[in-house]
Amino acid sequence: MSNEHRPHRPASAATLADVARAAGVSEITASRVVRGRGPISAATRAKVEAAIAAVGYVPNRLAGGLASAGSNLVGVVLPSLSNSVFPDVLSGLNAAIAGERLRTLVAVTDYDLDAERDAVAALLAWRPAALVVVGLEHRPETREMMAASGATIIELMDVEGEPVDLAVGLSHTAAGAAAARRLLARGRSRIGYVGHGAGDLRAAKRRAGLEAALKRDADLALAGAHVLDAPSSVGAGRAALAALLDAAPELDAVVFSNDDMALGGAFHCMAAGVDVPGRLALVGFNGLELANALPKPLTTVRTARGEIGRIAGEMLCARLRGETPPRVTDVGFDVVAGGTD
Amino acid sequence: MSNEHRPHRPASAATLADVARAAGVSEITASRVVRGRGPISAATRAKVEAAIAAVGYVPNRLAGGLASAGSNLVGVVLPSLSNSVFPDVLSGLNAAIAGERLRTLVAVTDYDLDAERDAVAALLAWRPAALVVVGLEHRPETREMMAASGATIIELMDVEGEPVDLAVGLSHTAAGAAAARRLLARGRSRIGYVGHGAGDLRAAKRRAGLEAALKRDADLALAGAHVLDAPSSVGAGRAALAALLDAAPELDAVVFSNDDMALGGAFHCMAAGVDVPGRLALVGFNGLELANALPKPLTTVRTARGEIGRIAGEMLCARLRGETPPRVTDVGFDVVAGGTD
DNA sequence: CTGTTAGCGCGTTCAA
DNA sequence: TTGAACGCGCTAACAG
């Protein structure tokens, strides 16, 4: 009621009513110009815009969202930010939705499915227009919450499994198999594996695809494996390859769980004087920009991370426009022939 | 076009009233158990919790925020996600605030101060508990909006300038000077610079600090510089160093705008057979984990990125508890003596 | 420990 | 092209 002299106190921020009063129009008219909706005469629009500037109005999306039963938020649940993969995805997503004035609400789970469940619940409380999660494997409650929410749900990175709603990604099993076939074609037969900590289900699928293809195509088993119980990192990859070669010096190729680990492997070889690819072939996964700038570019399986984010953003915009995007989008992958195999 | 997006909600999302009815208590009682606030008897808590599960209640934070005049959101405005620096910061921040049930609302500006202004306005509309931005240089309107919002404002990465509210970071001028002194102490005198695209104001401060210290301590000017008008990347660093050495082959040291660029420089030297540090010294900035896993670790100026995020998160939690954190926190930096100088 | 009252600021629905 | 009334779902401030 009291709004005669409003001090510069953010405690009482200007509301639409203040704008309307200053402009000499009704609240709803002010609301319409704020949102750029409905027919407004140029004259009243100008008055209202002046009033907005005069009172320093900042819309309250809490109220707006409550009144209209939904927000322009996109919940994003990511396993990690510690290598460039998910930041790349987030970047592509952000770029694709910026035009629709959608905002990303981000949570990080550290590859923990219980943390994912909590994050999904917390983000759903914001009545997001869409929720983006990584992978197709979730706790049953997580799936139920997502399905029951009515929001557009997009599951990223993987296409092997049944999505709750929409999925954009690639087949990690196929990617692992492609690495296997690449090495077999290059004449390698004593193939090892270096991996990182549990929780990364897609890395596990790649390894399974690798092993299955080795078996099927050449009746081979992995000739050695070293899996660190730690997040992937270049340092971890370096240490892990050193350990693996120690235990299995006869290996002629190593597949890594991702490029960070592979880069570490490459650095170990440089430092230890292991001839790559002469004595040992190295294959990574992701196709990081960095890995291609090496003196000897890394042979790797490149994924379109930014593009996955971008496509997810576009699908979600399509959905909001009432269109029906394809349920599953497989963006595939490329085997990049570098110099390490 | 609308800025309001309406998800396809199920006809009947359960509300607190549904929970209250199912539990046979009042709404406010149900609300208290949902929020874990206020004294509740074990018996009624159990009843309400059963009701929550039975009706599949998901709280509506839009309504909650409106009623309590504020959200548990932390707006985060980042210049970029394309190298690990800001993801590292975001990671630290997220980890520090997770315990307080705060969520990050993320916007990316591509180092554009106008985009920053728009992002700040958009995030403020969510009545965030705090707003985290990068750098101390903003458009005047941006500063005004932030100051007027009443939210806790934290400006990250830099401490040279007057913060709107709170700042956590380091002196980039001093970091640049430290690189200069390091090289001078190692006997270098023909020092060049490789930089990346405009917009990165802190990189500019580092360069200025480098040049000022060279002048002051040794009356030296830069013996060459190559600045790409592109975002920093390993590939860009590699190309830029090649170009710089072409134009100024007499250089005996190069300082890079950051580690990504410096890594590219190191890779160029490996590929081109440039003896590092014999003929040429290389110095980076950031102290990426990766740069330390190289066969010859990069000499660089390490910044505590994750820690900056963490401290920001803690300061903001302190503020929310009514404490008064220090206005400016300088986390400093370390010159890391690698093998490239 | 629990309930009542009274909005929060906005957008929808209808009417003019 | 503009406006009035109503309520979205929840919580602060008091009671009791």
Is A59's pLDDT higher than 90? yes
**Helix B27-35 and helix B16-23: axis angle, to 10°?**
110
Query: What does the pLDDT average to over A199-212?
Result: 96
Q: How confident is the model at residue A7 (pLDDT cuts 50, 70, 90)?
A: very low
Gap between the Cα atoms of B240 and B226, Å rounded? 6
Residue of B276, B269, B235 lying closest to B82 (CA atoms): B235
**Protein residue with the closest CA to the C1' atom of nucleotide C8:** B67
B40 touches strand C (CB under 7 A): yes
For A61, the token pair is 């999306």
pLDDT confidence of residue B12: 61
Q: What is the mean pLDDT of residues B61-88?
A: 94
Give dist(CA A129, CA A173) in Å, integer: 31
Split at pLDDT 50, 70, 90, the class of A15 is very high
pLDDT digits (tens, 9 = 90+) for B224-234: 999 999 999 99
State mean pLDDT over A69-78. 94
Q: Nearest nucleotide (C1') to the CA of residue B23?
A: C2
Give the one of A62, A82, A94 whose C-beta lies nearest to B91's C-beta: A82
The more confidently predicted of residues B213 and B70 is B213
Q: Does the distance separating the beta carbons of B103 and A123 come in below 8 Å?
A: yes
Q: What is the mean pLDDT of chain A?
A: 93
| pLDDT greater than 90 at residue B39 | no
What pLDDT was estimated at residue B9?
43
Q: What is the pLDDT of residues B111-164, one digit of tens each?
A: 999 999 999 999 999 999 999 999 999 999 999 999 999 899 999 999 999 999
Cα(A281)–Cα(A283) distance, integer angstroms: 7
- Of residues A9, A81, A94, nearest to B90 (C-beta): A81
Handedness of CA B331, B335, B337, B341 (dihedral sign): positive
CB of A79 within 8 A of CB of A87?
no
pLDDT digits (tens, 9 = 90+) for A237-250: 999 999 999 999 99
pLDDT tens digit sequence for A263-322: 999 999 999 999 999 999 999 999 999 999 999 999 999 999 999 999 999 999 999 888
pLDDT tens readout for residues A40-58: 888 899 999 999 999 999 9
DSSP letter (8 states) at residue A277: T
CA A328 to chain B, closest CA, distance in angstroms equals 20
Q: Three-class SS string for chain B?
A: CCCCCCCCCCCCCCCHHHHHHHHCCCHHHHHHHHHCCCCCCHHHHHHHHHHHHHHCCCCCHHHHHHHHCCCCEEEEEECCCCCCHHHHHHHHHHHHHHCCCCEEEEEECCCCHHHHHHHHHHHHCCCCCEEEEECCCCCHHHHHHHHHHCCEEEEEEECCCCCCCEEEEECHHHHHHHHHHHHHHCCCCCEEEEECCCCCHHHHHHHHHHHHHHHHHHCCCCCEEEECCCCCCHHHHHHHHHHHHHHCCCCCEEEECCHHHHHHHHHHHHHHCCCCCCCCEEEEEECCHHHHHCCCCCEEEECCHHHHHHHHHHHHHHHHCCCCCCCEEECCCEEECCCCC
The pLDDT value given to residue B38:
78
Least confident of A223-237, B9-23, B156-170: B9-23
- Cβ separation B94–A101 shorter than 8 A: no
The answer to whether strand D lies under 7 Å from the CB of residue A38 is yes
To the nearest whole percent, how much of chain A has pLDDT over 90? 88
How far out from the chain centre does Cα B133 lie? 8
Reported confidence tier of residue B197, pLDDT bands at 50, 70, 90: confident
The mean pLDDT value for B203-218 works out to 98
Quote the DSSP letter at residue A79. S
As given in the structure block, the two tokens for residue B235 are: 């590939």
pTM, 2 dp: 0.92
Q: What is the pLDDT of residue B3?
A: 36
pLDDT interval class at A12 (50, 70, 90): low
Q: What would the mean pLDDT of A125-148 be, rounded to a whole number?
A: 96
DSSP H or E segment with residue A237? helix A234-247
In this predicted structure, what is the pLDDT of residue B6? 35
- Which chain B residues contact residue A293 at CB under 8 A? 233-235, 237-238, 263-264, 267
Is B87 at the interface with chain A, CB within 8 A? yes
Q: Is the pLDDT of residue B307 over 50?
A: yes
Enclosing H/E stretch for A329: strand A328-330
> Which residue has tokens 């426009």?
A321
